[in-house]
Amino acid sequence: MRRMGAWGVVLGLLVMTANTAFAQDVTEQSGPAKINWTTKQMVFTGDGAANLNAPNAASARIGAERAAELVALRNALEALKGVKIKAGMTVDDKLKAEPSLTAEVEGVIRGFIVKETRYYSDGGVQRDLAIPLDGELGQLLLKTETAKVSEKPAAPAEPAKPAEAEKPANQPSTGLVVVAQGFKLTPVLAPIVLDEEGKTVYAAEMVENRSAGVASYSATAQNAAADKKVAGNPLVVQAKSSPNGVDVVVSNADATKIREAAQKAPFLKEGRVIIVKQ
């Protein structure tokens, strides 16, 4: 009995930990889909009714599964249109401006992952499908936009002060965490980090492999610092403001730290950036 009780406590703690971790993800409802901006994944659902004229139960179930996937794919495209690429631009805006992208985007969405399938007694099927916002999809949506993300040139890195040079700060930064809690911040695929002069500190065009994404979001600084995207020795800075509810401004002093750290390690080129919001 004691052993069972102990295992029960352990299991309960594991479940609570998993639920708490998920609850701290930054999520957003976009039409019929849910966007997880921490894991950079979109989950969409589709329902399929059984074909009563199918020759047997197995055929009816296969037909219902396919029908559920088709509905889910339609829902996915509808939901994706509401996803914001940057300030003032959604995926829908992008597809309207570049109609040829629609077929490519639909093709990528068809490479979905089946997360869960539910079967009902009437033969109907409901399927939860998922697709990463980074990877091929993100690269497709950002490939022509990155050159236009910011027209302001990045300021050259300021020379390090002698006192700072003597500090044992020889461990390269493994990522950037910008704490922007307290602002009404809307997650986007390509946020920009600016200094107080309005000059670009970080933007999508700096990322060499955009399939890895530009930035993700976390609900707490602690979770962000432990995220494998930046874990190790992340540079953590505090945002001062958000001029448009999308991009963030850091102090000039922190901007200098970021630029100097980026000269020693490729974390900005690799898109190892997390923004903390609530």
Segment 42-98, tens digit of pLDDT: 998 888 888 777 788 788 888 888 888 888 888 888 889 999 999 999 999 999 999
pLDDT, one tens digit per residue, over 244-274 is 999 999 999 999 999 999 999 999 999 999 9
Nearest one of 232, 233, 239 to 275, comparing CA atoms = 239
pTM: 0.78
Work out the widest C-alpha separation in the chain, in whole angstroms: 81
Give CA 180 to chain center in angstroms: 16
Distance CA 125, CA 118 (A): 6
CB–CB of 80/91 below 8 Å?
A: yes
* pLDDT class of 145 with cuts at 50, 70, 90: low
* pLDDT class of 34 with cuts at 50, 70, 90: very high
CB–CB of 31/44 below 8 Å?
A: no
CB–CB of 76/94 below 8 Å?
A: no
The three-state secondary structure class of 6 is helix
Distance CA 269, CA 251 (A): 21
Mean pLDDT score, 29-37:
89
Strands ordered across the beta sheet of 33-36: 27-30, 33-36, 41-48, 125-132, 113-119
pLDDT, one tens digit per residue, over 187-214 is 999 999 999 999 999 999 999 887 788 9
Q: Residue 211: CB partners within 8 Å, gap ≥ 6?
A: 134, 135, 136, 138, 139
Q: What is the pLDDT of residue 15?
A: 37
Is 33 or 237 the better-scoring residue by pLDDT? 237
Is 19 or 142 the better-scoring residue by pLDDT? 142
Q: What is the pLDDT of residue 31?
A: 80
Dihedrals φ, ψ of 210, to 5°? -75, -5
pLDDT, one tens digit per residue, over 163-183 is 343 434 578 999 999 999 888
Distance CA 216, CA 26 (A): 9
Q: What is the pLDDT of residue 175?
A: 97
* pLDDT class of 20 with cuts at 50, 70, 90: very low
Distance CA 252, CA 248 (A): 13
With pLDDT > 90 as the criterion, what percentage of the chain qualifies?
A: 51
- Mean of the per-residue pLDDT values of the chain: 83
Strands ordered across the beta sheet of 200-202: 200-202, 193-194, 248-250, 235-241, 176-179, 273-276, 216-218
Distance CA 42, CA 135 (A): 12
Q: What is the pLDDT of residue 54?
A: 79
Q: What is the pLDDT of residue 3?
A: 42
